[in-house]
Structure 1
């Protein structure tokens, strides 16, 4: 498999796993948040997102860590494997909360020089925590649909950190 999508709910560990898969398999890893978010937390407009993604997906080898709704059709048409992080809500929610607080306290940039803030991360209707709560069920349904249907690329669902480690160790290096 040379074109891999790592998919899951916000905070599930997609970026970390995608980078590890890329390193293990010798494939280029692309952080989707770095491509889709401009400085000042300005999202790339949907038509430009599709252009960027089409160009990235034209390559023979890649690992990406998301499939935004504006263009997940493009990824599904090219991916050879989907690795779905189907973790329980409490685990992904806790990871997201811990990561968000750590980034705020340490002033660690999230992507493209953007920083998370207390206000935006916790109290804004567009906050990443709010997004997790409202997208969790939809993203889990989507992963399970992909796995159940032969119309989609091969989909592996990993439900625990131990399953993630076992699956990664089983991949050829």
Structure 2
């Protein structure tokens, strides 16, 4: 496990899992939101994003958390040796987005881009979740299985699996 892509719907626990995995492995974590947005919360231009993303992919070890522009997502799947798809049921993802939004009214979530509204970001997450079945579907799963040939693929489908994942990986890698 040297190049790890962590992806899934909004509110699926990608950031939490990625932080725990980075801590357990010592691999540098790159949250896509940190390269997609400027410190004031505005989105960076595509060229700046592509350069930053490409630089990360060229490095020897990385964990990248998020989806980002679709072209870069597929580049990441190709470059990664480990794919972690968090596929929680929709009601749980909606609940986790809501929980993040409510907590965000008091404290900015860790890793949340400075200057970016947690409330507005949560509304965008709700919109994305509504559209998600058009992307995160059986066709995607077939493409993912094809893209994972020769790689390690982990599909996490419950909060309990999500909570156990890092500990189980640490145990199996010894």
TM-score, normalised to structure 1's length?
0.84
Matched ranges for 1:51-90 at <5 A: 51-68=51-68, 69-90=70-91
Report the alpha carbon displacement of residue 107 of structure 1 after superposing the two structures with TM. Answer: 4.9
Instruction: State the SS of the aligned residue for 2:35.
Output: helix
Match of 1:149 in 2: 146
The alignment yields a C-alpha RMSD, in angstroms, of: 2.3
TM-score, normalised to structure 2's length?
0.83
Q: For the residues of structure 2 that align with 1:27 and 1:92, how far apart are their CA atoms?
A: 26
Q: 1:73 to 1:21 in 2, by over 3 A?
A: same
Match of 2:116 in 1: 114
Report the alpha carbon displacement of residue 64 of structure 1 after superposing the two structures with TM. Answer: 1.1
Report how many residues are paired: 167
Report the alpha carbon displacement of residue 143 of structure 1 after superposing the two structures with TM. Answer: 5.3
**Contact 1:5/1:83 (CA < 8 Å) preserved in 2?**
yes
Match of 2:20 in 1: 20
Q: For the residues of structure 2 that align with 1:48 and 1:139, how far apart are their CA atoms?
A: 27
**Contact 1:84/1:143 (CA < 8 Å) preserved in 2?**
no
Q: 1:138 to 1:150 in 2, by over 3 A?
A: closer
Unpaired segments ≥5 residues, structure 1: none
Q: 1:147 to 1:120 in 2, by over 3 A?
A: closer
**Contact 1:89/1:136 (CA < 8 Å) preserved in 2?**
no
Q: For 1:61-97, what per-residue CA distance to the aligned partner results, in whole angstroms no more than 9, with x for missing partners? A: 1111113214113212210011110100000111011
Q: For 1:3-46, what per-residue CA distance to the aligned partner results, in whole angstroms no more than 9, with x for missing partners? A: 10111101101011011111111211111111111134321222
Q: For the residues of structure 1 that align with 2:136 and 2:49, how far apart are their CA atoms?
A: 20
Instruction: State the SS of the aligned residue for 2:136.
Output: helix
Unpaired segments ≥5 residues, structure 2: none
